[in-house]
Chains A and B, each alone.
Chain A
Amino acid sequence: NAGVTQTPKFQVLKTGQSMTLQCAQDMNHEYMSWYRQDPGMGLRLIHYSVGAGITDQGEVPNGYNVSRSTTEDFPLRLLSAAPSQTSVYFCASSYSGVEYNEQFFGPGTRLTVL
């Protein structure tokens, strides 16, 4: 199993550009989510999905879109990048419906918006 994979590892954008961060998991997890981590802070939830076709907003959803067309993939779209979106982005997945729902994290994408 590859676990949770994210691409790219690093990305530099100019203000106003759009891009998609990719996330895939091969563990057949129902639940997937995106977090961002800013310096000196913990992770904050952007969007999450409890299954294909179902998504919902987290704590900091503005400026981001998601969709979940398959169980395996959960891409995060930046519509018009802003310097405030400079951060490290983590994708995570877990089983649903269990008490001990450890979330498995991808390696992260470091995004810089100039």
Chain B
Amino acid sequence: AQKITQTQPGMFVQEKEAVTLDCTYDTSDQSYGLFWYKQPSSGEMIFLIYQGSYDEQNATEGRYSLNFQKARKSANLVISASQLGDSAMYFCAMREGPTWMDSSYKLIFGSGTRLLVRP
């Protein structure tokens, strides 16, 4: 079974509108973390936001917020007020296990969503 599922291979959004990128995950660990990375056409991986499994509040970083629904095992990324520079691939990733375990630093990635922002 897929550990991280991103069901939207590609999405369009109008500039200045909000967009939600979906991510569902599968784990039996109680302690885990969820990450979102952005990969522009230049290829580098840019960290956007992190949500820990024990965090009660949804994470926010500027125009990025993470809609964390633990019972549904979903961690959707919301980008508000989209900009042309937001056009990129977006990857959801998960680490599993408590941080005292060496293996907890292994990241499992989804297949990504390509976002295109229209002017």
Binding site for B on A (CB under 8 A): 31, 33, 35, 40-45, 48, 50, 54, 56, 58, 88, 90, 92, 94, 96-105, 107-108
Contact = CB atoms under 8 A, between A and B. Distances in A.
B44 A43 contact: no
A40 B111 CA distance: 7
Contacts of B100: 97
B45 A105 contact: yes
A85 B32 CA distance: 30
B22 to A, nearest CB: 14
Contact of A101 (B99, B108, B112): B99
Interface residues of B, number: 25
Contacts of B105: 31, 33, 48, 50, 94, 96, 101, 103
Given A33-B106, A48-B105, A42 B93 contact: yes
Contacts of B43: 88, 107-108
A99 B106 contact: no
A58 to B, nearest CB: 6
Interface in B90-117: 91, 93, 95, 99-100, 102-103, 105-112
B110 A42 contact: yes
A96 B99 contact: yes
Nearest to B59: A100
B99 A97 contact: yes
The 9 residue pairs across chains A and B that have the minimum distance between CB atoms: A42-B109, A105-B45, A50-B102, A43-B109, A31-B105, A102-B47, A42-B111, A42-B110, A108-B43
Given A105-B45, A107-B43, A98 B99 contact: yes
Nearest to B53: A99
Contacts of A97: 99-100
Given A50-B102, A98-B99, A41 B44 contact: no
